[in-house]
Structure 1
Amino acid sequence: MHHIEPYYNWLKYYDSSSDELSPFHGKEYNYELYTDTIYGYYIDPAWDAIGSETLYIKILYANYDDGIAVIELIGEWNDTLHNDIMHLKRNIIEHMILQGINKFVLIGENILNFHGSDDEYYAEWFDEVEDGWIVGVNFRDFVLEEWAQFNVDNYINCGGQFEHLNWRTLKPQVFCERVEEHVMKRLDF
C-alpha cells in the first residue's frame, strides 16, 4: 500500500496545504518518513488523516467560486467498526461546506473494501449540500453493491458513466465540468 500515492499532477493547480480555506492548510509533509498505516500496512506520507484508522484522503482540487472539490480516498471505508463516514463528514466535509463547497467528487479507485452501517450521515451530508451534489467516481463494483445494500447510493451519484472515468488525463476544471454535465443529465432524466 505504501506505493499507492495520491494523484500529484494537479498540484500545480491546487495544493490543500497552501489553501487557507482547506482543513489541511499549513500541513507539512515529510516524504521520507512513513508513519500512517491501514491494518499494519504503511501508506504514502502524502495521504491526509481524517481521524479514521482505515480511511485516508487527499483533497486534489477545490474551487470555491464554483463550489466544487475533488477528494481522492484510500483504504477501507468502514462505517461498521470505525464510523468512517462520521470522521469524513465531521472533520472534512463540514469544514468545506462552511467554505462554500456544495459539490463533492469522491475518487474511489483506492477504496479496497466497504463495510456499511446506517445511512444517517450520508443523508445529513446530502441535505446540507442543498443545490449541490455528491458523486462517487471509479469505485469498485463490489463497493457499489455494498453502497446499494446500505442505501448510500441514494445520496451519492455513482455507477454508470461515473464508473470508468479517465480523469487523470484531464485538467481539474475540465474534469469537474464533465462530472457536473453527467450529474445534470441524470437530474434531467
Structure 2
Amino acid sequence: MHTLEPNYNWRNIYIAAEDQRSPFFGYENSEVYFTDQIYNYLIHPQWDNFGSETLYLKVLFADYNLGFAIIEFLGEWNDLLNNDIMTLKRDVIEVMIGEGINKFILICENVFNFHSDLDSVDYYEEWQDELEEGWIAILNAREHVLSEMGKFGIDQYLVMGGKLNDISWRTKHPKILFKELDELVVKRLGF
C-alpha cells in the first residue's frame, strides 16, 4: 500500500495545504518518512490524516466560485467501529461547506472495504441536507463497497454507480471533470 499515492497531476493548480480556506491549510506531509499506516501496512506519506485509524484522504482540488471539491480516499471506510463519517463530516466537510462548497466528488477506487451501521446513516442524510442544491458523487467505487452502502440506504444520499463507476478522471482538468459530472448528476437527480 505504500506505493499508492494520491493523484499529483493537479498539484500545479491546487494544493490543499496552501489554500487558506482548506481544512488542511498548513498540513505538512513528509517527503521522506512513512509516518502513517492502515493496520500493519505503511501508506504513502502524501495522504492526509483527518482522524480516522483506517481511512486517509487528499483534497485534490477545490473551486470556491463553482462550489465543488474533489477528494480522493485510501483505506477502509469504517463507520461501524471508527465512525469515520462523523469525523469526516465534522472535521473536513463542515469546514468546506462553510466556505461555499456544495458539490463533492469522492474518488473511492482505493477504498478497499466499507462498513456501516444504521446510526451512521444520519450523518450522510445531514450532509446531503446541508448542501442546498448540491450533491455528493462517488466515483469508481468497488462493487462490494457500493453494495454495502446500498444495504444501509446510504445510496439515497449519494449519487453513485452506473456511469460514475467507470470515469477516467486522472487525465482531465478538474473543472472539465466537474462539468461532466455535474451534467450527469443533474440528469440523474432530475433537477
Sort the TM-score into its range (normalised by shorter chain).
over 0.9
Q: CA deviation at 1:28?
A: 2.0
Q: Distance in 2 between matches of 1:99 and 1:170?
A: 25
Which residue is 1:108 aligned to?
Answer: 108
Q: CA deviation at 1:59?
A: 0.2
Which residue is 2:53 aligned to?
Answer: 53
After TM superposition, the score normalised by the length of structure 1 is 0.98
Q: CA deviation at 1:135?
A: 0.3
Which residue is 1:67 aligned to?
Answer: 67
Q: 2:180 aligns with which of 174, 178, 181?
A: 178
Q: CA deviation at 1:30?
A: 1.4
Which residue is 1:92 aligned to?
Answer: 92
Q: Which amino acid aligns with 2:168?
A: N
Q: Which amino acid aligns with 1:171?
A: H
After TM superposition, the score normalised by the length of structure 2 is 0.97
Question: Identity over aligned residues, as a percent?
Answer: 51
Q: Distance in 2 between matches of 1:113 and 1:28?
A: 27
Could you say what secondary structure the match of 1:86 adopts? helix
Q: CA deviation at 1:187?
A: 2.0
| Runs of 5+ unmatched residues, structure 2 | none
Question: How many residue pairs end up in the alignment?
Answer: 189
Q: CA deviation at 1:80?
A: 0.6
Q: Distance in 2 between matches of 1:65 and 1:27?
A: 23
Could you say what secondary structure the match of 1:104 adopts? strand
Q: Which amino acid aligns with 1:25?
A: F
> 1:86-105 CA distances to partner (integer Å, 9 max, x unpaired)?
11101100000000000000
Q: Distance in 2 between matches of 1:187 and 1:82?
A: 31
Q: 1:154 aligns with which of 153, 156, 160?
A: 156
Could you say what secondary structure the match of 1:135 adopts? strand
> 1:38-59 CA distances to partner (integer Å, 9 max, x unpaired)?
0121111110111110111000
Runs of 4+ in 1 over 4 A off after TM superposition: none
How much is the aligned-residue C-alpha RMSD, in angstroms? 0.9
Q: Distance in 2 between matches of 1:27 and 1:50?
A: 10
Q: Distance in 2 between matches of 1:139 and 1:12?
A: 26
Q: Distance in 2 between matches of 1:157 and 1:142?
A: 16
Which residue is 2:189 aligned to?
Answer: 187
Q: Distance in 2 between matches of 1:114 and 1:100?
A: 28
Could you say what secondary structure the match of 1:17 adopts? helix
Q: Distance in 1 between matches of 2:122 and 2:14?
A: 31
> 1:105-134 CA distances to partner (integer Å, 9 max, x unpaired)?
000000000011121100000101121000
Could you say what secondary structure the match of 2:117 adopts? coil
Q: CA deviation at 1:188?
A: 2.4
| Runs of 5+ unmatched residues, structure 1 | none
Q: Distance in 1 between matches of 2:117 and 2:93?
A: 19
Q: CA deviation at 1:169?
A: 1.5
